[in-house]
Amino acid sequence: MSDQIAVFLPTRTGSQRVKDKNTKPFGGFQNGLLGLKLKQLLQVDGIVIYLSTNDPLSKRIAADIDSSGLKIKVIDRPNELCLDSTLLSDLIDYVPSIIYEAHILWTHVTSPLIHSGLYQKAIDIYLNQLGHGFDSLMTVRKLHEFLWSAEDNDFVSFDRKIIKWPRTQDIKPLFQVNSGIFLAPRKRYLLGDRIGDRPYLLELNSFESMDIDWNEDFELAELIYERANK
């Protein structure tokens, strides 16, 4: 088994909230978010990319970018794992059946502001922290905010018995998992998860943490990307 890091990059047909989200033009990339993400990942040293998809256009885009198939390996994903109803746990269980490298980096085309430098940073930190008590890595955004639970009818980010309205900077931070990067040994996937018992939290800023789910997300991310890459 190689010690190389493999990237799991999933796409599929049938986006419900943003039509053709992965492949429609974005920020000057005619091949859209997928074309941009493949370009970003190809600039990262020492990885191999597994594009897991049932989308014919995604397959053609990957073939146009890497006709040799040496750096981008296109894997046909079973249609039953490409449904809106597909359980994430089933997709996690699927990953080690197609990837045999020792470490797996799971990322998405819908995180366009995570660039090659951030991927390289995440990999370097992950490999270093494996020797310092951490067993995986995930990207997060730190929240110092008034977060309310309707179920508990109370704030969950601080204790009002101590202070009713603390300054936001004094609130104990919570961390939003932004799904930009998950990095873990393959053996964790064999146990049914994409993080370990003690993940390292790599903090990203609000821009880097952007995840495209809706049309307004797409438009805003495109504006930010174009402004940052003038």
pLDDT tens-digit map of 169-222: 999 999 999 999 999 999 999 999 999 999 999 999 999 999 999 999 999 999
* pLDDT value at residue 16: 72
Q: b vs e for 113-127, b when ≥16 Cβ sit within 10 Å of the residue's Cβ? A: bbbeebbeebbeebe
* Residue among 99, 93, 61, 67 nearest 80 (CA): 93
- For 104-146, give the secondary structure using H, E and C: EEEECCCCCCCCHHHHHHHHHHHHHHCCCCCCEEEEEEEECCC
* pLDDT value at residue 69: 84
CA distances (Å), origin 32, targets 27, 74, 77, 159: 8, 17, 21, 45
φ, ψ for residue 141 (rounded to 5)?
-120, 130
Are 46 and 5 spatial neighbours (Cβ–Cβ below 8 Å)? Answer: yes
* pLDDT value at residue 1: 40
Percent share of the chain, pLDDT over 90:
91
Percent share of the chain, pLDDT over 70:
99
Q: b vs e for 88-99, b when ≥16 Cβ sit within 10 Å of the residue's Cβ? A: eeebbbbbbeeb
Residue 206 to residue 228: CA distance in whole angstroms: 14
Residue 180 to residue 108: CA distance in whole angstroms: 6
Domains and CATH numbers, the chain: 5-138+178-228 (3.90.550.10)
Residue 221 to residue 224: CA distance in whole angstroms: 5
Place of tokens 């992950």: 126
Q: Show the tokens assigned to 128.
A: 């270093």
Residues of the chain with pLDDT under 70: 1-2
* pLDDT value at residue 145: 93
* Residue among 44, 47, 48, 24 nearest 34 (CA): 24
CA distances (Å), origin 67, targets 48, 71, 142, 168: 14, 9, 40, 51
Q: Show the tokens assigned to 41.
A: 């990942």
